[in-house]
Amino acid sequence: LPYTLSENAWMAWQYNRPEAGTGIVQIFRRENCPGDTNRFRLRGLQPDASYDLTDIDTNKTQTLTGQQLMDEGLSVTVPTQRTAVIIKYQRK
Tens digit of pLDDT at every position of the chain (92 positions): 788 889 999 999 999 999 999 999 999 999 999 899 999 999 999 999 999 999 999 999 999 999 999 999 999 999 999 999 999 999 99
- Report yes or no: 90 and 51 within 8 Å, Cβ to Cβ: yes
Closest CA to 40 of 29, 49, 56: 29
pTM exceeds 0.85 for this model: yes
DSSP three-state, residue 62: strand
- Phi, psi of 66, rounded to the nearest 5 degrees: -60, -40
